[in-house]
Chain A
Amino acid sequence: MPRAHDFDYDAMLAKIKDRQWALADIDWDAPGADAVTDEQRPRLKEFMADLVWIENVGARGFAALAGKAPTPVLREIYTYFHAEEQRHANAELALMRRWGMLEDDEVPEPNINVRLAIEWLDRWSDDMSLAVLGTVIPMLEVALDGALLKFLLDEVHDPVCHRVFDKINADESRHLAVDFQVLDLLGHAPARRLLISTVGTVARPTVLLGALMYVPLLNRMRDNIVAMGLDERRLYTAMSRFTRVGERSPATRRLPSYQILKRHAAIVIDRGHPYHHFADFMVKASARYPRRLLRPTPSWARELTHEPVAR
């Protein structure tokens, strides 16, 4: 992998602009929708809903990153990524609609863990450092997006679905390329600065709160995947990709936030680790989280649409 300062952000931005696509580019009424069986439909609906909301959460993460970008070009790249994650969510909604999972303008409800993630992002994400956001977002992208998408393509044989996810995957590969470049860039900071920013970050209650939201979110996804009849190792393979790519850069390895997430990923993958007692408990506990304590859904989480054309 090239070093951070070799990376051509301008060329990346130009490429991003060249590779834009729209929902209107896809024929949502093309044959193949019946490839989704009645048996698959209810579970697949839940699964797709999770996916849609994870994209939306990822979108908000990129919005926060755009605010932290050290250069105007990177800011613009993140602004595009923000929009692209939203596009993925919109396209996935359109697929749900195609498969008869949505009534009229229905947008599926996010599960409680996603709701908590939305709430946390809405309140705190703009206060997080580039290092924290820049590490968590690629993890979410490889683990959740990566695993879920691959699984979906194995299970669903609708050609439109494959066409859509080809486009989504191409976008995601650019997101990951930039994500890991930025980690590498951050890793070049002097050790003193890394130490100070880490101590400052870990000491913050909002970060701890974020972690408490992140832990059950992951395990909940795993449960949903298993419920779909998928081998959970899929999720773990995807998570190990985060480490695999990250380890290639000595600079990234210097990043405390990377090290923490890497260790955490290793524990998540180790099914026998006592951590899972805690994480599974958190999933159950969050299911009992009183809904009345949730704040109203922020307006950024009410922008999703399956309609390719807004009239």
Chain B
Amino acid sequence: METILNIENLTKVYGTVPNQTQALNGISFQVMEGEFLGIMGSSGSGKSTLLNCMATVIEPTSGKIQIDGKDLQKMKGAELAKYRGQKMGYLFQNFELLDNLTARENILLPVSLHGMSEKEGQSRLEELAKYLEITEVLDKFPDKMSGGQRQRVAAARALILNPKIVLADEPTGALDSKNARSLMEKLTGLNTNEQTTILMVTHDTAAASFCKRILFISDGVIFHELRRGDESRQDFYERILNVMAQLGGGRSNVL
């Protein structure tokens, strides 16, 4: 299996001497093609900083982020924009659909931004819409959709260009448990059937239990790693809860 994302000794320091905060303290890990990786951690653990570095929102102080063998830090301007759309799909906590565009137009935004042919975009759209069960809302505006539909539309938008990796930022954060479950099932399906690589940051143990592997971050370092073997989701869920409890915050940290 090919390595999609390679993170090496990543550090991020905020502020200047003497008021420095070490948000990331030498994190290294790899994400393989077709993986479904979860990142968990309490507030202030550094997971947001890590996600922001990968999403090229902030620059790391040192270390390396390589996607598909290319150094992210060396990318500038157009190449960076291309990375944001084509190599990486981003799934937001608050969906971030443009409310004056229909679902179809929202999904096709990356197509128009990155010059994919319209025909190709349309066929991919239909395929995704069918799978994510949003065909009937394609011509509706976001305010006419349910939260679950909105997030599935957002997922279709993140996936339309077949990105190398999907970064999901608390994707179930704004959903009720039923919709959250349905979304996670769809994402798992995509991961299993289409080999879509997904990296998800979450607080939600239930959502995390859909992942194949979970990294726990605390104080800017990887504190623990869990791999889901052949066990049931329920068992994996229990194991995650245990780690979360060990992290020191107990259940209050999980929610």
Mutual binders A and B = no
